[in-house]
Structure 1
């Protein structure tokens, strides 16, 4: 028999004595659903929708909510808003704060949900869940949800450079692989599309059975080369912008060196790694090393229940670009900084496992290296055994 849960004899009502109007925004391309809980209205949540992107209508609705509360209670109460981090970015949050509204952006994955197999999901239910999460957060309940700290527009714009370069590099790999695949099917194995003489070399190619390249195949490869060369020009332009940004930070005369300049002084860290670390991670303020590792998704995820106690690996809940970059940098760190304390730690750990589990050890090294680099740029703590480029 299934256990029947008896209803509570003394149901706990939602507190509405926080003297504020709590509002959640469910954002979509066509409509914005506004769910609100106002003082003096009991536990009833009102819902109203406006056209997506109509900020004027949104602010007008907030004013109407304040006027209704004023007519019921004769009190002036502020509006506290919450929305999920998503496709709309942070511009709505900036508009609300500019108009004197207390606004929060929440990580949607941090809100507790039902674990039933078939879970109902509608904008109405999501809006109510956001209001309840906002209420718990304002009450001071621990770990009720995780609020996102929106970056300022300058930092948000600067990180576009490295992100665009990553997209262009991925497209370049696709075109190179497609050209090589087309030629490999004809018996050509030694053609390199990225070499300077790629077009002249294409004219001299023959198939594996001695025929000239087929006419339509050659035309397709030429069009692929046109797109590839456009990508090479755009990658060079993006890298020039990145180098100019790093040079501007390095040439700035201040008492404390810029993080980018400090990172570039370490052997094994080039302009791309320095730019990603600064624009994706070190532009933020962290209180401790746990926050640094958690932001990159490199924090451990324990599983404990009774006598069961094991680690599930890193959480991967964080900035994926920063996490990927740190794992790549960790492999290069072993090559360029073999005498550092971190490299010795990695070698000893792998040796103790009989040469196995290098991948899990490199992830642990990435977490340690990220924390060490954060201490270096934030507090000037030099990494033990690290070699600088000047030396």
Structure 2
């Protein structure tokens, strides 16, 4: 995300040399709120059908025509939309048409703190437009604009995300099978073992009966779905290395970071792929941006004499944050002599959960420096060839 625009007017003006447009997207219709030069401060509202790009571009042409009639000048169009289910396809279409487009994080826009506040698409469209105006004027921290990934970058990270989805589905089926058998007094059945079919046929309830036929049939169908998931997980786990290697054949910047991460003891191919596809493919200006992107930045509460920490913000990429917490525990096991592990051990056993989050933040910054600048983590062991 970009907290501040790179350029813009320093003073607030009512006559702005552009046509500002906010897009409120939904499944049925799109609400377009615009503010044009020469029209005073009145915001006009129009609606087009969802997905009607031709109608949207025709509406933009009408905005330009009316502004030219009022002022005798031609103005560019600047649009803004929220991140959501529509993704970035409309943003790419607008950029291809030569329209300046922005995608904003809706959680970064200030909202009234009343107990009950009105919320409609009309009000949201006006709030988006005001945020865009302030952003282009150069007001700091008025909102956070999202850096849209390229189609290749967006598609590359689907493998890691699909793997996580499949693992969650596998856990659901395993727990369902265990729950069905637990109701019969059976607690030692492991659905993920290779001999699961044979062990299921030999099972008896706690009161000595054979498993009921309908229960056996239901568990067999659950095992069918579980085996399908296990096979899909194996195929998905085998793909990241090949895909990233093919990508790196044309872009050394895409293959070298993955190889560098995989060379560190405690980081496997899956973790290296997730770290690269979810975080390190982006450009960050400093370590604070790295921690904030993963949601591991601190959120202090300091007002007058009140000073305390609220914990990490969690306002970032949840997948990257989860992987870093897991990697922090693995780091203690595989890199016990590193400076980061010694820092964790020096804190003792008190409040280990909070300390592991701090270690995850430090480790993320250290890996970012290692990948981008080649700064080797102090005391870290590199795998042998």
| 1:72 alignment partner in structure 2 | 70
Whether 1:358 and 2:352 are equivalent positions in the alignment is yes
Supply the distance in 2 between the matched residues of 1:253 and 1:320 (Cα, whole angstroms): 27
Partner of 1:189 in structure 2? Answer: 187
Q: Which runs of 5+ in 2 are unaligned?
A: 1-10
**Structure 1 contact 16–40 (Cα < 8 Å) conserved:** no
Contact 1:250 1:261 in 2 (8 A): no
Moved more, 21-30 or 308-317: 308-317
State whether residues 83 and 104 of structure 2, in contact with CA within 8 Å, keep that contact through their aligned partners in structure 1.
yes
Aligned partner of 1:45 in structure 2 is 43
Count of matched residue positions in the alignment of Structure 1 and Structure 2: 375
Please list the CA deviations of residues 232-281 of structure 1 after superposition, one character each: whole Å capped at 9, or x if unmatched. 11111211212312444677795996111100000000111111100000
Aligned position for 1:303: 301
Farther off after superposition, 201-210 or 320-329: 201-210
Q: Structure 2 vs 1, CA of residues 256 and 77 (structure 1 numbering), >3 Å: closer, same or farther?
A: closer
Structure 1 residue 309: Cα displacement: 1.1
SS in 2 for 1:105: strand
1:26/1:189 Cα in 2 relative to 1: closer, same or farther (>3 Å)? same
The alpha carbon displacement at 1:230 in A equals: 1.0
Q: Alpha carbon RMSD of aligned pairs, Å?
A: 1.6
Aligned to 2:172: 174
If the length of structure 1 is used for normalisation, what is the TM-score?
Answer: 0.93
Structure 1 match to 2:271:
273
Trace 1:1-391 onto structure 2 (pairs within 5 A). 15-248=13-246, 254=252, 258-349=256-347, 351=348, 355-390=349-384
TM-score (norm 2): 0.95
| 2: CA distance, partners of 1:126 / 1:24 | 9
Q: Deviations over 1:209-236 (max 9, x none)?
A: 2111111110110010111111111111
Relative to structure 1, is the Cα distance of residues 181 and 243 closer, same or farther in structure 2, using a 3 angstrom cutoff? same
Structure 2: how far apart are the matches of 1:347 and 1:329? 16
1:17 Cα deviation from its structure 2 partner: 2.2
